[in-house]
Amino acid sequence: MTPHASRWFDTVREITGTLVSIPSVSPDAAAENRCAEKIRELLAVDSLTPISWATNDGRKNIACLLKSDNLNNTGRTIVLMSHFDTVGIEDFALFGDSNIAFQPDELAKIMRIFLEQKDSLTASEQSALTALQNGEWMFGRGTVDMKSGVAINIAIMRDFARMRANGTRAIDDLAGNLLFLSCSDEETESAGILSAIPELLKLREKENLIYLGVINTDYTAPRDSNQDARFVYSGTVGKLLPSFYILGARTHVGEVYRGVDASHIAAELVSHINLNSAWADSWRGSLGGETVAEVAPPPVALRMRDLKLSYNVETAGEAFVYFNWLTLTLTPEEAATKMNAAARSALEAVRARQEESFNDFSLRGGQTRPPLNWQSLVLGYDSLYKQARDRWQAGNKEKDFSEWLRRKTEEFAAIVKDGRELSRMIVAELTRVAQIGGPAVIVFFSPPYYPSVQPTENELTLAVQAVLGRSNERLQFRGYYPYISDLSYLRLDDGVETVSLKKNIPLFGARDSQDSLLYALDATKLNEIRALDCPVVNIGPFGSDAHGLYERVHMPYSFETAPRIIFETIVSILKEVTT
């Protein structure tokens, strides 16, 4: 690779390597906090004064406000946001020691030898080998998602601070401020940003800030066969986790028609929903003065299993299925309607298959009693809750149902830490209390829930477009950032209503005996997000195979072009206007 004598490249590369070397796999709180402390140290190098904001579970976010002394500074502030946690490294054991994932230089050497010695390569391996050979890529866990994004923001903050120290007054030439924010736990349930929201509100009030918008530096990647295009985004996709607790009717395998297999219902649900393009959410709107249309990927199953504890010769009495569903404009209420319809269709498909199979079996001389006569039952979580409450209160007139459910939820939370499993256990308990028998499907949402943020035209996006228009790079201004990100919690679009979420999410607002939330999103948090109401853009590093074995960041763009675009956007939007 040709040497880079540039403003940003060497600094961003050095900081990226430093951060990658510090494991911060979510949800390892101790590891994430070690990385947070290194970020604090890297900011303090140039006399910046970073502070820690604690999350509810003991992790840390790092914030740093750099205020301009310009007399025309009215508090206008740009937030530079990132996250520093990563996914796991188990795949890297292929190279002898999975911890090689945190050593980019050594990893590149070992990986190149490994790939060059293979007799044949997959397309992914060939792409990785080509990248290793041209020398423009840094490999390793977190290189693109997103230690390089953190490094970009640190470099920009330090650059502004250094110029002030050298007497060139760069930040003081601007009529506004910069706020650095790097969060823990983006990769699991975004506990970092959800804990940071009230701190952002308090800081805004304390320092009389006006948040013009958030520039996030999460990773970008190829969207199609064009490997040369680079992207900037002005909104973000949302995410729902449609979940189905399924009750069958157990039967001995020798009398399969006398029951209903919960696994069969689960399979029909997956068949109906998985990769169903009719469920792919879409948006049509104005972007950069042009009418554009975008489509999100369809839902995909993340888990499907029966709930049998051991081998036996009974069909499954319970099953659990949940899906990842990316959204652009779809509201939770609209999604729940589709989910209920899918559950009814799945039950009817099982009934039809059972009848067809039984009739064929009988014609071939099979000896068995007629199939079970059953009625389909589909309940949303809100209906289940009310039925369970009414039946419970009928036998416990002097007791508080909500308090009983809180205690039960706390008991379950001591057994499982996964929010999906905890939600399923709550639903199963309410089904038992309501005395609901199968075949039945209970429809609800598991955490996490990420609201989508629709692209809008505002001062920040106009400034970004102006900078892109002056760039020689092949940069595309797009609408929705296509990956789940913390951007979802900085602004709420219409349709995200507390009542709807409470009706459909068992853990929404649930607390333990210490009054701590079991899931960080509740009505108070939604109100805080509405009060924050920040426009968003994503201008991040570019790379490939995020979360994968061959994760890598393209250094020329990510270490030079991306920080330059962000720097010029900051100057453009905060420059002092004179008359």
Angle between the N-to-C axes of helices 9-20 and 29-44, in degrees from 0 to 180, rounded to the nearest 10: 150
What is the domain partition of the chain in residue ranges?
9-237+451-491+533-574, 242-445
Same fold, 9-237+451-491+533-574 and 242-445: no
3-state SS class at 364: coil
Question: Which class in CATH covers the domain with range 9-237+451-491+533-574?
Answer: alpha beta
| pLDDT for the residue numbered 165 | 66
> pLDDT tens digits for 306-354?
999 989 998 899 999 999 999 999 999 999 999 999 999 999 999 999 9
In percent, the amount of the chain with pLDDT more than 90 equals 76
At residue 167, the pLDDT reads: 66
Q: For 27-61, b where at least 16 C-beta lie within 10 A, e where not — what string?
A: bbbebbbebbebbbebbeebebebeebebeeebbb
Q: Does the pLDDT at position 2 exceed 70?
A: no
Distances (CA, A) of 297 to 237, 313, 470: 10, 39, 32
pLDDT of residue 516: 83
Identify the CA nearest to 213 among candidates 462, 386, 494, 39.
462
With a cut of 90, say whether residue 105 has pLDDT above it: yes
Q: Shortest CA distance to 281 belongs to which of 489, 495, 543?
A: 495
Q: What pLDDT does residue 306 have?
A: 93
Mean pLDDT, the chain, rounded, equals: 92
Give the per-residue pLDDT at 107: 97
Q: How confident is the model at residue 219 (pLDDT cuts 50, 70, 90)?
A: very high
pLDDT 10s digits, 371-415: 778 888 999 999 999 999 999 988 887 678 999 999 999 999 999
pLDDT, position 473: 73
Q: Is the peptide bond before 448 cis (omega within 30 degrees of 0)?
A: yes
In this predicted structure, the answer to whether residue 513 has a pLDDT above a threshold of 90 is: no
Q: What is the mean pLDDT of residues 161-179?
A: 80
CB atoms within 10 A of CB 2: 7
- Rank 92-96, 150-154, 458-462 by mean pLDDT and report only the highest: 150-154
- Binning pLDDT at 50, 70 and 90, where does residue 495 land? confident
Confidence of residue 369 (pLDDT cuts 50, 70, 90): confident
pLDDT band at 575 (very low <50, low <70, confident <90, very high): confident
Band (578; pLDDT cuts 50, 70, 90): very low
Beta bridge partners of 138: 553
Query: Which tens digits make up the pLDDT trace of 439-479?
Result: 999 999 999 999 999 999 999 999 999 999 887 777 889 99
User: 148: pLDDT confidence band, cut at 50, 70 and 90?
Assistant: very high
Q: Greater confidence, 369 or 74?
A: 74
When pLDDT is averaged across residues 293-313 and rounded to a whole number, the result is 94
> Residue 411: exposed, middle, or buried by beta-carbon count in 10 A (0-12, 13-18, 19+)?
exposed
pLDDT at residue 579, as a whole number: 34
Percent of the chain with pLDDT over 70: 97
Q: Are 575 and 78 in contact (CB under 8 A)?
A: no
pLDDT at 445 (0 to 100): 97
Residue at token pair 């309410």: 430
pLDDT at residue 4 in the model: 46
Is 357 in contact with 366 (CB distance < 8 Å)?
A: no
pLDDT of 200 > 50? The answer is yes
State residue 184's pLDDT score. Answer: 95
**Residue 576: pLDDT above 80?**
no
Per-residue pLDDT, averaged over 185-200, amounts to 93
Answer yes or no: is pLDDT of 137 > 50.
yes
Q: Which CATH architecture has domain 242-445?
A: 2-Layer Sandwich (3.30)
Residue 564 has pLDDT above 80, yes or no: yes
